[in-house]
Amino acid sequence: MRFAKKYLISLQLLQKTLEINTQSMDQLRQVLFHDVPTIRISDSYVSPEMATDLLEHDLNKLGLLFQRGRESFASRELQLREYLI
């Protein structure tokens, strides 16, 4: 039981670290490369039913998130092509 509790706390710390690191990198990109055109492909989903963590095991929810990721890319594909040409 102690091992499971320690593992869960470590996993929660890792999740928070990754989230903070992602936000920090985006802010750093905006400061250092403000003149470089960029596109954020991954949309934010603020609805409570879309909330997940690193331990998510609901395959339906994970499939829905994967589908939303494809839709997010598709909505910006033309703009991305313009940047790459």
For 47, the enclosing helix (H) or strand (E) is none
Domain enclosing residue 25, as ranges:
1-35
In angstroms, the CA 49 to CA 41 distance is 21
Q: H helices within 1-85, ranges in order?
A: 2-32, 59-84
What is the model's pTM? 0.56
- Kindly state whether residues 27 and 46 are assigned to the same domain: no
Q: Do 2 and 24 belong to one domain?
A: yes
- Residue 73 neighbours by CB distance under 10 Å: 14
pLDDT(20) > 80: no
pLDDT digit string, tens, across residues 28-72: 888 888 898 888 787 777 677 777 777 778 888 888 888 888 888
Q: Do residues 54 and 83 both lie within one domain? A: yes
Sequence-separated contacts (24+) of 29-37 with Cβ below 8 Å: 37/83
Residue in the structure block whose two tokens are 């890792």: 14
